[in-house]
């Protein structure tokens, strides 16, 4: 049995082996670099021989079968529906040698982790609010189109001078849609890094809204609040760039104790993380954040 298990794992890994550099995909796209790998797909940086443009090409994992192809087709439909300059534009979609490919514009930029740990950027309360409002402009657009991103992690937000872009819509769904059967999102590690601390949900905190499927298993509906929670972690990541740990301090403290921020901003983040009454909509959060920006501007 162990041999057959090993053989199965080996064959899956072999089928999912990334394309070699300079491989031409779809008789058009030259593979320049493997950008990343996920559970259901691999993404490459490619040269479009027809247009001369650099593009991003995502390939479904063959070992995941029709389900991986389904996810890629759904991502294609979502990108088609969105159409925003700060979101990848759908360029092509094709099947070759039983592999399914999605081609989109290649968006460059630095992640927040790059900016903080490589470039030494520090985000105080005012700059954190400013950056979050820029992110919220894109997220609001996504929500108004009827979708939620569901994966607003640090690697999926790219900063380009005066604006930012949101990438990787592989987990995105329509608002109110249940996740695929058997899928449960892992939210661990959203703010883990050199200086980051885990947020702790008290026992009295309101649990996230959920719905039960017909078979009784609990599933999280695709709601705006899921993206807002990710933004809360995103804001904490920025704010921890100002944090200096005390030498010899062994006691782990909450972010509320460690960060020197206003009570107003603290309450906003607590609502994002559902430590207090959660926001009912992205618009409500935008209003509160805009008020905080005005308060900082008037000081």
* pTM of the model as a whole: 0.82
The rounded distance, in Å, linking the Cα atoms of 44 and 59 is: 8
Per-residue pLDDT tens digits for 263-283: 999 999 999 999 999 999 999
pLDDT > 90? residue 39: no
Distances (CA, A) of 266 to 262, 271, 289: 6, 9, 11
How is residue 190 annotated by DSSP?
A: S
What are the φ and ψ backbone dihedral angles of 139, each rounded to 5 degrees?
-65, -40
Distances (CA, A) of 47 to 8, 100, 129: 34, 18, 37
- Exposed/middle/buried for 237, CB within 10 Å: 0-12, 13-18, 19+? buried
The rounded distance, in Å, linking the Cα atoms of 82 and 141 is: 8
Distances (CA, A) of 244 to 232, 257, 259: 20, 13, 9
- Exposed/middle/buried for 173, CB within 10 Å: 0-12, 13-18, 19+? buried
pLDDT class of 8 with cuts at 50, 70, 90: very low
CA 11 from chain centre, in angstroms, equals 30
Catalytic residues: 151
Per-residue pLDDT tens digits for 191-205: 333 344 433 333 333
pLDDT > 90? residue 172: yes
- H helices of 145-259, in order, are 224-239, 255-258
pLDDT at 192: 34
pLDDT class of 258 with cuts at 50, 70, 90: very high
The rounded distance, in Å, linking the Cα atoms of 205 and 81 is: 36
Task: Work out the widest C-alpha separation in the chain, in whole angstroms.
Answer: 70
- Sketch out the chain's domains with CATH numbers: 15-105 (3.30.200.20), 112-297 (1.10.510.10)
pLDDT class of 220 with cuts at 50, 70, 90: confident
Bigger pLDDT: 213 vs 132? 132
pLDDT at 87: 98
The rounded distance, in Å, linking the Cα atoms of 283 and 24 is: 45
pLDDT at 40: 86
Share of the chain above pLDDT 70, in %: 80
């Amino acid at each position: 049995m162990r041999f057959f298990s090993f053989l199965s794992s080996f064959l899956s890994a072999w089928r999912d082996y990334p394309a070699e550099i300079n491989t031409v995909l779809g008789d058009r796209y030259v593979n320049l670099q493997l950008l990343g790998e996920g559970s259901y797909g691999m993404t490459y940086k490619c040269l479009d021989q027809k247009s001369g443009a650099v593009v991003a090409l995502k390939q479904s994992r063959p070992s995941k079968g029709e389900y991986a192809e389904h996810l890629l087709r759904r991502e294609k439909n979502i990108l088609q529906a969105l159409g925003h300059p700060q979101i990848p534009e759908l360029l092509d979609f094709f099947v070759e040698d039983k592999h399914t490919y999605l081609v989109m514009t290649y968006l460059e930029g630095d992640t927040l982790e790059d900016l903080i740990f490589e470039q030494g950027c520090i985000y105080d309360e005012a700059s954190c609010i400013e950056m979050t409002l820029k992110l919220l402009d894109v997220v609001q657009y996504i929500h108004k189109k009827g979708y939620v991103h569901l994966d607003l992690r640090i690697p999926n937000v790219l900063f380009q001078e005066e604006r930012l872009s949101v990438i990787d819509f592989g987990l995105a769904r329509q608002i109110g849609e249940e996740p695929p059967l058997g899928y449960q999102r892992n939210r661990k590690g959203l703010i883990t890094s050199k200086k980051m601390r885990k947020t702790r949900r008290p026992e009295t905190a309101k649990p996230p809204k959920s719905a039960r499927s017909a078979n009784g298993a609990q599933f999280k509906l695709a709601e705006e609040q899921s993206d807002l929670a990710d933004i809360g972690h995103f804001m904490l990541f920025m704010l921890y760039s100002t944090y200096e740990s005390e030498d010899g301090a062994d006691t782990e403290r909450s972010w509320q104790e460690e960060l020197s921020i206003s009570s107003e901003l603290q309450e906003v983040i607590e609502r994002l993380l559902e430590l207090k009454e959660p926001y009912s909509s992205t618009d409500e959060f935008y209003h509160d954040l805009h008020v905080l920006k005005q308060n900082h501007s008037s000081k």
